Amino acid sequence: MASADYNKWHRPVLLAETIEALALKPGGLYVDVTSGGGGHSAAILSQLNAEGRLIAMDRDADAREETRKRLESLNTLGSYSVRSSKFSSLSLNLFDEEKGHIDGLLADLGTSSYQLDEADRGFSYHQDGPLDMRMDRSDGESAAEILAWIKEDDLAYILRKYGEETHAGRIARAIVRERKLRAIETTGQLAEIISKAVPASARRKKHPARRSFQAIRIAVNREFEEIEALLEQIPVLMSSGGRVVIISFHSLEDRLIKQTFAKWEDPCECPREFPICVCGKKALGKRPYRKVIEASDEEVEENSRARSAKLRVFEFGGVG
């Protein structure tokens, strides 16, 4: 398959910036925990020599199949494996000899274009399909199952927090009212309930269901809990000098990553007025770039998804 076709499945964002931020060592061990269509994975693998190794992971079976096809099509020296894993099971899916030896780890968060565009996956408010939204269709409850029991207040909270939906209360009320009449089982049904629930002014610009679909997807896949679990495991998995690169698309995710990296760099908990540190907490490494990296105007023009992408880097070791 030509690379343009792979880009239809999912066009990787900030590709050159990611490779630069990883400061790739050709003989190193790299883990891509969000392989998706394999765009970033392919670029990493292409830079490796015969000693270099890539582990490409995703919780989505369709993504792993696409990654496998893409990596197989490359003529490279480095070796690779494609593994099923969600962030919270990362350590369980690494061998002991890999732990503590990872030279670079990439997490390109959120969903792939394929997941969003494929009606059958149940993420799309543009096309009708089963109301699923799970990245791993063998794990946990679908959006339809959750919407059948969730309390109205909790639903409103999710819509407000993860979707920044200003009409969260009205939408939650409408969903709860509708489910008493009939089961909400398709994306089309949900999109219609939301469209009818919001005031006419909210129907004029972007699709009125956009924010709610995002919020429900984040809740279904426990995306924040997963990122927290990933960040907790990372420090013991990396080699000295190893770099972690995380690309996020949601302001809450970016804030969590920014705060975690700052804490890794300066974990001291002593009161400011103490002349020396007595808590004994040592820096795990440093942030090689202070500032967040964002897509160029040219990239945003070619791929609007890149508009909200924020890339942050942390380098382990090399301190005190």
Please select the residue that binds ligand SAM; options are 17, 108, 178, 315, rule is CB under 6 A. 108
Contacts of 18 (CB under 8 A, 6+ apart): 12, 40, 43, 106, 108, 245, 247, 311
What is the three-class DSSP state of 200?
Answer: helix
Contacting range for ligand SAM; rule: CB under 6 A; set: 91-99, 108-116, 174-182, 234-242: 108-116
- CB 226, CB 251: distance < 8 Å: no
Sequence-ordered strand ranges (E) for the chain: 29-32, 53-58, 79-84, 102-108, 238-248, 285-286, 310-316
CA distance 11 to 200: 34
- CB 25, CB 51: distance < 8 Å: no
Contacting range for ligand SAM; rule: CB under 6 A; set: 34-42, 73-81, 193-201, 236-244: 34-42
Q: How many CB atoms lie within 10 A of CB 159?
A: 26
* Residue type, position 175, single letter: I
Q: Which residue is nearest to ligand SAM (CB)?
A: 36
Q: Does 135 bind ligand SAM (CB under 6 A)?
A: yes
CB of 199 to ligand SAM, least distance (A): 32
Q: Does 34 bind ligand SAM (CB under 6 A)?
A: yes
Name the strand (E) or helix (H) holding 293. Answer: none
* Residue type, position 21, single letter: A
CB of 76 to ligand SAM, least distance (A): 16
Please select the residue that binds ligand SAM; options are 226, 253, 299, 315, rule is CB under 6 A. 226
Number of residues that bind ligand SAM (CB under 6 A): 21
Q: Does 112 bind ligand SAM (CB under 6 A)?
A: yes
Please select the residue that binds ligand SAM; options are 59, 167, 250, 312, rule is CB under 6 A. 59
Contacting range for ligand SAM; rule: CB under 6 A; set: 30-38, 231-239, 253-261, 306-314: 30-38
CB of 244 to ligand SAM, least distance (A): 15
CA distance 234 to 107: 11
CA distance 281 to 262: 13
CB of 222 to ligand SAM, least distance (A): 8
Please select the residue that binds ligand SAM; options are 78, 110, 163, 285, rule is CB under 6 A. 110
Please select the residue that binds ligand SAM; options are 14, 29, 36, 197, rule is CB under 6 A. 36
Residues that bind ligand SAM (CB under 6 A): 10, 12, 33-34, 36-40, 58-60, 63, 86-87, 108, 110-112, 135, 226
